[in-house]
Amino acid sequence: MKLLYQTHSPYARKALVFAHEAGLAQRIEVVHQETSPMRRNEHVFAENPLGKVPVLVRPGLPPIFDSDVICAFLDTLHEGRKLIPAEGEARWQALRVQAVAQGLADAGIALRWETVRRPQALRYPPLRDGYAEKLLASYDWLERELDHNSPIHVGHIALATVLSWIEFRELPAFRKNRPQLAAWFDAFEARPSMQATPLSGETHD
Ligand SMILES: N[C@@H](CCC(=O)N[C@@H](CS)C(=O)NCC(=O)O)C(=O)O
């Protein structure tokens, strides 16, 4: 299988870290692709009509996107403990943490448009502030609601990869006054799956 990937995408890294945690990384060839809504990438559009990474290209089968769906598919390919719990409250907790992590990535990208990506004259400060507020409220929620001690699940993977990206892009900081979240993240970042997938590179708009 090939993973259309970007070394500075939190979503792509989430899929790859999931593959490492599931013991599937050896079966995946990582292919770097630059994407931006202002820079059409034909290789990516050929597999995903949204023109976004990650995409999992499977031999003889249709490509799979987005990162949530790739993780769900990968979880069917291994015999170990499932990283997306099948039932009960454990399932809903994993999926809601994943939803918050996805929202953090979405809001973080939107915030970057309003701070560094859009030409200065087209930026809109009230929108910037609204996205920053979503980040801060989500950090507070995570400090209260994250299940630090449960076995690793897809929500943890999505969260660690997005928090790492938030620090990489110097978005509003999450550590101050959130000791539990910070300690959990530091421990997760030391895992081999995270160490094997460092972030690098700039966005090309
Ligand atoms: N919901 C998608 C989001 C994917 C996404 O936004 N990827 C970015 C890279 S960080 C992208 O390729 N953006 C290009 C574009 O918006 O055209 C997922 O979870 O995979």
pLDDT digit string (tens) for 75-104? Answer: 999 999 999 999 999 999 999 999 999 999
CA nearest ligand 1 atom 6, residue: 52
What residues of the chain score a pLDDT lower than 50?
none
Q: Look at residue 44 in the predicted model and tell me its pLDDT.
A: 98
Q: Look at residue 187 in the predicted model and tell me its pLDDT.
A: 98
In the chain, what is the greatest distance between 2 CA atoms, to the nearest angstrom?
Answer: 53
- pTM value is 0.98
Q: Look at residue 93 in the predicted model and tell me its pLDDT.
A: 98
Q: Is 54 in the pocket of ligand 1 (CB under 6 A)?
A: yes
Taking a C-beta distance cutoff of 8 angstroms, is the pair 17, 197 a contact? yes
Q: Look at residue 30 in the predicted model and tell me its pLDDT.
A: 98
Question: Ligand 1, from 52, 55, 204: best to mutate by most atoms within 8 Å of Cβ?
Answer: 52
Q: How many CB atoms lie within 10 A of CB 33?
A: 19
Give the number of the atom of ligand 1 that is nearest the alpha carbon of residue 37.
17
Q: Look at residue 10 in the predicted model and tell me its pLDDT.
A: 98
CA distances from 35 to 47, 52, 110, 137, 186 (A): 13, 6, 15, 29, 29
Report CA 178 to chain centroid distance, whole Å: 21
Q: Look at residue 173 in the predicted model and tell me its pLDDT.
A: 98
